[in-house]
Amino acid sequence: MNKITLITGATSGIGLACARKFAGAGYRLILTGRNESRLEEIRAELTAQGSEVLTLCFDVREREETEKAIACLPQEWSEIDVLVNNAGLALGLEPEYEGRFDDWETMIDTNIKGLLWMTRLVVPGMVERGRGHIINIGSVAGDAAYAGGGVYCATKAAVKTLSDGLRIDLAPTPIRVTNLKPGLVETNFSRVRFHGDAKRAEKVYQGIKPLTGDDIADVALYAAQAPAHVQIAEVLILATHQASGSVIARQ
């Protein structure tokens, strides 16, 4: 039986690119997200190409919904080999003293708590079976704060610390933990950050060739397929003209 990968936030961007890349490599997929019709379209696309796909529609911020979704997995889908904790977002770019309380709560609930719920629910099965891999989508933003990004950067710093902690706790087991830290990736990320302002979002990627979701999915798949004794612990992936979260040499 082929390995199972569960990807959160698989309806767009990096999550969708991972779904396509892992499907192409023969994994069975559990794709999760909040948009049921989009999940169904992606399931149809991938099954037409011969992949086995199960979709689960839930919001990772809602602990009970998340618990129910994982507890109700059919037996043949319950042995998850790879968990890609991808669902996440940034909201706003105001100075920290002017940020919106609601934006902060959404980022913290999604990027930190959602990742934790998923980890807590899926990893015990991996430990029991003695196999598994957790791939967290962190960010260059977790390495250092940038202007207006304090709370988002803090959530991604938390992803790094949670990945490190989990790796320590799992060190006696064969289970691997990877923290991928992308820089600028052109997805819906900036449109979401600017509350749907497409013009402002476009400017983020002007004067630089940004990364694509595929670039990140390639690294995720590489980490998942590395030999069992190789743990890709952390990878920083930047566009060539980006040097850090705040240094971007626009051409």
**Going residue by residue from 88 to 107, which x/- string records binding to ligand NDP, judged by CB under 6 A?**
xx------------------
Phi, psi values for residue 236, rounded to 5°: -100, 120
Residue 245 touches which of ligand 8X3, ligand NDP, none (Cβ within 5-8 Å per kind) = ligand 8X3
The footprint of ligand NDP on this chain (CB under 6 A) covers a number of residues equal to 28
Work out the burial of residue 7: count CB atoms within 10 Å of its CB; fewer than 13 is exposed, 13-18 middle, 19 or more buried. Answer: buried
Q: Does 139 bind ligand 8X3 (CB under 6 A)?
A: yes
The least CB distance from residue 201 to ligand 8X3, in Å, is: 11
Query: E-assigned strands of 41-132?
Result: 53-57, 82-85
Contacts of 167 (CB under 8 A, 6+ apart): 176, 177, 231, 233
Please state the closest distance from residue 249 (CB atom) to ligand 8X3, in A. Answer: 14
Task: Reply yes or no on whether 27 is catalytic.
Answer: no
Please answer whether residues 118 and 85 qualify as being in contact, where contact means their C-beta atoms are separated by less than 8 angstroms: yes
Please report whether residue 141 would count as binding ligand 8X3 according to CB under 6 A. Answer: yes
Distance, in Å, from the CA atom of 156 to the CA atom of 210, rounded to the nearest integer, reads 20
Q: Which of residues 185-244 bind ligand 8X3 (CB under 6 A)?
A: none
Closest of 2, 222, 228 to residue 131, by C-alpha: 228
Judged by beta carbon, residue 82 or residue 184, the one nearer ligand NDP is 184
Q: Which residue in 99, 183, 210, 213 binds ligand 8X3 (CB under 6 A)?
A: 183
The set of catalytic residues is 152
